[in-house]
Structure formats: C-alpha cells, structure tokens
C-alpha cells in the first residue's frame, strides 16, 4: 500500500508542477477565450494551490473515485474497465510465454555454457535485447504484415467483419490480431529471462549438492534436472517484478499495433495533460508492482518449503 501511495503522490506532484494543465490542452485545439478558460480552470479547481488539489484528489481516490478523464470526457473508472483487461491479457500471455521459453532456453544454455551454440544464442539474444520494444514491434509489423501479409497490422479484431463471423472464426481473428503484439513483448521477455536463467543455472551446477549427485553416479541429465530446480527459484522473483515492467513495453507496443489497452490510453493522456487518467495509470502500475512481488514470494514459498515461516 505504501508503494502505491508514494508512486501515485510523486506522479501527481510532477504532473502538477509541469507547465500547463488539462484546460490549457483543451485550449490548444480550439479558439477558446482566456476568460472561458479561466472559468473552466476555476470550476475544476486547477487554480487552487497544489496542496489543496492533492488533498482533494487523495480523498476522492481513497473513496474509489479516480475523477473525470479530460481527454475522453468520461469517468476514469470507465476507461480502466474498458482498457485494463486488454492490457492484462496481452501482458499476462507475454509473461507466461517469456517465463516458459526463457527458463527452458536459459537452463539449456547454462548446462552448455561456453559451447558454440551457447555463444551463438547469446549473441542473438543480446541483439534482441538491445533493440527497443517499439523498434522490434515495427520490424515484426513490417515483416509479417507489409511484406508477407500473414497477420493484421492493428486492433484487437477486424472491425468490418468480426460481428458477422461465427464464434470459431471470431476466436481465430482475435488470435491473429494478438499474435504480433504478443510476439514483440514475448521476444524481449524471453531473452531477459534466458540470460538470467543461464547465469543462475551455471552457479547451481557448481553447488555442493550437484557434486554430491555426480559422485553418487547419477546420470548427467538427472544432475542437470536437480540443478535446474534450484536455479529456477530466483527466476520466480524476477517474474514477479518483471510483470509490471511489461507495462512500460506495452505502452509502445500498443501504440505501434493500435492495441486498445492502458498503454495507448496513457500516451494520449500524457499528451493531453489528462491528470486524472495519468494518475490512475500510475496507481495501477504501482499496485501491479506490489502484487507481483507478493505473488512471487508466495510461489517461492510453495516451491521451496525452506522459505516457509513456522509459527
């Protein structure tokens, strides 16, 4: 809870200390008289000291009221209900795939560290990791849409045909639209998890229990399996912290692919100085960070009984 309060309060302070406000953003797109702008600003309370605005905002948030989105002209809660599930779907699937692929690839590399195959995979992973999320998204978009015409470029569904399709084809249409944004986030997540798993796997192979297992005559495959069970625990903690980090990548990926999630809504809100929506996005992101850490600790305690506290 403390993390959420600190993060959201910091975001509120930076937003209000920056030049301009939502009324200024509205005035940039239309010829609005200064007197009318001043009236709107007074009605919304933007002419009051920042301390007064903060106390009022905090009181509303404590009651579950995130305010009115100035950029979308509707309650922020409605925007969250519409956009957040789309982002969670994309992020959840990307995290699950990244964890599975990255763990398997990293464990394989760690068991064969220094080989030609390990060096080749590490080089490719480093290139993928160095490319920004939006750059990788644009590359996949160019390859699979503009060149090969295999996958659609934007949106969650084909707006012109979706409603007329049978349920089975509707699912296929959704999966086709999901494929490129999912692949963009999954590729980045996979190489991150793989590099971390490779390092922990190498360390695990030098532990005393591994030497004991080899001394007892266990086959190398069984030895590596025991080492991997030990090496995967730190990856769980990383997965819990990496889940909210996907939100940052989703901001750019959603913009490239026109995915109607929180990322694209956040970019629009920042550009239009939508205080209420930006603050709500920060609250959601910080809550996801805290929740991811708690879930990671819970999973670790289930996987390793030694971490459980006794009464």
pLDDT per position as a tens digit, 266-289: 888 888 888 888 888 888 888 887
- pLDDT of residue 304 exceeding 70, the answer is no
What is the structure's pLDDT at 209? Answer: 82
Sequence-separated (6 or more) residues with CB below 8 Å from residue 80: 66, 262, 280, 284
How many domains in the chain?
1
DSSP string, 80-111: HHHHHHHHHHHHHHHHHHHHHHHHHHHHHHHH
Contact 101, 261 (CB under 8 A): no
Please report, for the domain that includes residue 112, its CATH number.
Answer: 1.10.3720.10
> CA Rg, the chain, in Å?
24
Closest residue by Cα to residue 151 from 159, 142, 160: 142
User: Domain for residue 4, yes or no?
Assistant: no
pTM of the entire structure?
0.83
What is the structure's pLDDT at 32? Answer: 65
User: Domain for residue 44, yes or no?
Assistant: no
Q: What is the mean pLDDT of residues 132-139?
A: 87
Q: Per-residue confidence at 311, pLDDT binned at 50, 70, 90? A: very low
What is the dihedral angle through the alpha carbons of 102, 103, 106, 107, rounded to the nearest 10 degrees? -160
CB atoms within 10 A of CB 34: 8
| pLDDT mean across residues, the chain | 83
pLDDT per position as a tens digit, 18-71: 777 777 666 555 566 777 777 777 777 777 888 888 888 888 888 888 888 888
Burial of 217 (0-12, 13-18, 19+ CB in 10 A): exposed
User: Domain for residue 32, yes or no?
Assistant: no
User: Domain for residue 69, yes or no?
Assistant: no
User: Domain for residue 130, yes or no?
Assistant: yes
Q: Which residue has the higher pLDDT, 173 or 15?
A: 173
Percent of the chain past pLDDT 90, that is, above it, reads 21
User: Domain for residue 228, yes or no?
Assistant: yes
What is the structure's pLDDT at 93? Answer: 92
Contact 185, 91 (CB under 8 A): yes
CA-to-CA distance for 201 and 194, rounded, in angstroms? Answer: 10
Q: What is the mean pLDDT of residues 123-139?
A: 88
User: Domain for residue 58, yes or no?
Assistant: no
- pLDDT of residue 153 exceeding 80, the answer is yes
What is the structure's pLDDT at 197? Answer: 92
User: Domain for residue 99, yes or no?
Assistant: yes
What is the dihedral angle through the alpha carbons of 258, 264, 268, 274, rounded to the nearest 10 degrees? 150
DSSP string, 202-258: HHHTTSHHHHHHHHTT--HHHHHHHHHHHHTHHHHHHHHHHHHHHHHHHHHHHHHHT
pLDDT per position as a tens digit, 211-251: 888 888 888 888 888 888 878 888 887 887 777 777 777 78
3-state secondary structure of 21: coil
Structural domain harbouring 213: 76-307
Lowest mean pLDDT across 94-103, 164-173, 176-185, 271-280: 271-280
Residue 122: CA atoms inside 13 Å, Cβ hemisphere, count? 17
CA-to-CA distance for 54 and 272, rounded, in angstroms? Answer: 20
């Amino acid at each position: 809870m403390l993390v959420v309060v600190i993060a959201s309060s910091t975001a509120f302070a930076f937003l209000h200390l920056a030049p301009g406000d939502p009324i200024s953003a509205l005035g940039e797109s239309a010829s609005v008289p200064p007197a009318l702008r001043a009236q709107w600003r007074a009605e919304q309370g933007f002419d009051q000291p920042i301390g007064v605005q903060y106390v009022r905002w905090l009181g509303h948030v404590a009651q579950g009221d995130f305010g009115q989105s100035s950029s979308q002209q509707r309650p922020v809660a409605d925007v969250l209900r519409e956009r957040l599930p789309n982002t969670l779907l994309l992020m959840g699937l990307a995290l699950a795939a990244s964890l599975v692929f990255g763990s398997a690839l990293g464990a394989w590399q760690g068991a064969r560290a220094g080989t030609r195959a390990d060096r080749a995979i590490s080089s490719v992973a480093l290139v993928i990791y160095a490319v920004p999320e939006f750059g990788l998204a644009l590359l996949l978009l160019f390859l699979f849409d503009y060149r090969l015409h295999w996958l659609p470029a934007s949106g969650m569904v084909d707006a012109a045909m979706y409603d007329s399709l049978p349920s089975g084809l509707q699912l296929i249409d959704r999966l086709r639209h999901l494929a490129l944004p999912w692949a963009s986030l999954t590729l980045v997540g996979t190489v991150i998890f793989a590099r971390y798993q490779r390092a922990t796997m190498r360390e695990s192979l030098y532990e005393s229990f591994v030497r004991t297992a080899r001394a007892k005559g266990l086959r190398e495959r069984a030895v590596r399996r025991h080492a991997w069970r030990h090496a995967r625990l730190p990856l769980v903690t990383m997965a819990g912290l990496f889940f909210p980090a996907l939100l940052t990548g989703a901001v750019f990926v959603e913009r490239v692919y026109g995915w109607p999630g929180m990322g694209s809504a956040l970019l629009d809100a920042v550009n239009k100085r939508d205080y209420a929506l930006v603050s709500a996005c920060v609250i959601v992101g910080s809550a996801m960070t805290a929740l991811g850490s708690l879930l990671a600790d819970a999973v670790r305690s289930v996987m390793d009984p030694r971490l459980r506290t006794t009464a």
